[in-house]
Amino acid sequence: MTNNWTSEKIHDQTGKNILITGANSGLGFETSLALSKKGANVIMAVRNLEKGKEAIAKIKAINPAAKLDLMQLDLSDLDSIKRFSEAYHAKYKTLHVLMNNAGVMAIPKKETTRQGFEMQFGTNHLGHFALTAHLLDLIKSTPNAIVVTQSSGLHKRIDAIQFEDINWDKSYDKWKAYAQSKLANLLFTYELDRQFKAHKINAIATAAHPGFAETNLQRSSGFLVKYLANKLMAQSAEMGSLPILRAATDTGLKGAEYFGPTKMGEMRGYPDLVKSNEASYDSDAAKRLWDISEKLTGVKFNF
Ligand SMILES: NC(=O)c1ccc[n+]([C@@H]2O[C@H](COP(=O)([O-])OP(=O)(O)OC[C@H]3O[C@@H](n4cnc5c(N)ncnc54)[C@H](OP(=O)(O)O)[C@@H]3O)[C@@H](O)[C@H]2O)c1
């Protein structure tokens, strides 16, 4: 008998609607598989429906009874996020868990989203910010709803959001831009949880990071990370999915928890509570980021 937290510890999820972004690949795929095994209805939000269908076939081959629903969502396009939300509302009246998981990393040359935001900030943070706002009515009306967002240990590479050039217009550093988007994920999570509590909403926000897991994420990272580091240091995508699974299903969650692996400088191992950097707990910065995010996306949170 071990105390390690594994997906075996997830209690029955039957009757829950769990929405996962980036569900076709890597951590999102493993998370979809694990939660479908526990009986949840998993709404797999993907930008590429063909890849989504392949992922569904793989899960069904392992678990034929899986309840899976495939929906199209491109987080780098605010119009797609709005259309997705309308389609979700037309189908579902509840949202028990929203897993803001999808992401892009270290894009070599600056790219922009459909509305012109730097791709990592735009997809990883602004896209999920807008998605959560669009779905807030269902989060509010579903008892004990959880919004869990996938950050990264790499958020520690920066110690503040660079508000004076948030879109990397003056200069672009692919790793700092990624780190900023992942710090933004944490500032968003902690502020969302504060807002839920301030408005007496029966929902919480939590966060997780997977350590270093072998997925498709490193496709832009060059030979060293993609092949060498992946093979030598990375843990499996299944292990990397455990922190977000724990942050979404653990018993006794109160909100604002942050889970990650606990071995090898948080790169590997079973998940437990870990600490994010000081900047992530700066509530003034969180409010400032929130206001900017509402302005940039044109989406408001009606708590
Ligand atoms: N793997 C790690 O070591 C690691 C470490 C720290 C944090 N993370 C975080 O974990 C999350 C999942 O990444 P992963 O490692 O599982 O990588 P992955 O295998 O590349 O999966 C990323 C997922 O995000 C989707 N995605 C990317 N851009 C999107 C967009 N504009 N709209 C909708 N979906 C989009 C991808 O879709 P496509 O398949 O169509 O590209 C894919 O499904 C990310 O937020 C990442 O930052 C991962």
DSSP result, 211-264: -SB-SGGGGGSHHIIIIIIHHHHPBPHHHHTHHHHHHHH-TT--S--EEEEEET
Q: Which atom of ligand 1 is nearest to the CA of 215?
A: 19
236 dihedral zone (left: phi>0; alpha: psi -120 to 50; beta): beta
- Angle (deg, nearest 10), helices 26-37 and 49-62: 40
User: What pLDDT sits at residue 233?
Assistant: 80
Q: Is the CB of 73 under 6 A from ligand 1?
A: yes
Ligand 1 atom 48, closest CA: 210
Sequence-distant (≥ 6) Cβ neighbours of residue 264 within 8 angstroms = 211, 233
CATH tag, 12-297: 3.40.50.720
pLDDT of amino acid 3:
84
> Would you say the CB of residue 243 lies under 6 angstroms from ligand 1?
no
Please list the pLDDT of the chain residue by residue as tens digits (303 residues): 468 999 999 999 999 999 999 999 999 999 999 999 999 999 999 999 999 999 999 999 999 999 999 999 999 999 999 999 999 999 999 999 999 999 999 999 999 999 999 999 999 999 999 999 999 999 999 999 999 999 999 999 999 999 999 999 999 999 999 999 999 999 999 999 999 999 999 999 999 999 999 888 876 666 666 666 666 788 999 999 999 999 999 999 999 999 999 999 999 999 999 999 999 999 999 999 999 999 999 999 999
Contact 33, 65 (CB under 8 A): no
Best residue for ligand 1 mutational test, from 47, 71, 181, 233 (most atoms within 8 Å of Cβ):
47
Amino acid residing at 298: G
Q: 27 C-alpha vs ligand 1 centroid, how far in Å? A: 7
Instruction: Write down the pLDDT at residue 148.
Output: 98
| pTM (2 d.p.) | 0.97
The response to whether residue 48 sits with its C-beta less than 6 Å from ligand 1 reads: yes
Do 130 and 21 form a contact (C-beta atoms < 8 A)? no
